[in-house]
Amino acid sequence: MIEHKVVILGAMGAGKSTLVRAVAGGTVIDTDVLNTDASSSKLVTTVAMDYADVSLPNGDRLRLYGTPGQERFSFIWPVLLQGARGVVILADASSPDVAQEMERYLLALREHAGTVPAVIGVSKFDLVPDVDLDACLLQAQKTAGRPLPLVPFDARSEDAVMLLMDVLMGEVEAAALVGAHD
């Protein structure tokens, strides 16, 4: 049995909690509290993490950790990234500068998770279909120091979330194959 620890990073409101719930079928341990950040209209926000433990059909385990998105909780990001086998960085397409918004999470990836396989999910793409995905890809490669797959998706759609996770697991499997030949 293999345990896959996957960490989800991204801004408040990007869909981290929704993604964790979609993968886990709703069974999640969360630390949501009333939102006190006046810059967001969200009613509640995550202050420590969302956690889900999912049994996969092949007997493996998927352990999902959704991080808090607010900068004031960034101290927990390195702790959650320790031992990660995969990382999802969520970017909110409705953000005024979605490419720039990703930078702090890409820096956390580079600094605390090195070459751990990662994928970028651009959420709320259905609301802003003309978002500049090329700018997102360029920002990601520049900041992370490596190319990363980018998947526009809707965090409320189980099919879209599963596609995003399939892309990430493909990256994890590819990294394992490369590592086996080193």
Give the residue from 88, 163, 102, 87 showing the smallest Cα distance to 137: 102
| Count of structural domains within the chain | 1
Per-residue pLDDT tens over the stretch 90-134? 999 998 888 888 898 999 999 998 889 999 999 998 888 888 899
The enclosing domain of 129 has a CATH number of: 3.40.50.300
Residue 3: burial class (beta carbons within 10 Å; 0-12, 13-18, 19+)? exposed
pLDDT digits (tens, 9 = 90+) for 25-65: 867 766 655 655 666 565 655 556 789 988 888 899 999 99
Strand partners, 143: none
Relative to beta strand 3-10, strand 86-92 is parallel
**What is the Cα–Cα distance from 92 to 97, expressed in whole angstroms?**
9
Domain extent at residue 36 = 3-180
**Which of 139, 141, 138, 144 shows the shortest CA–CA distance to 109?**
144
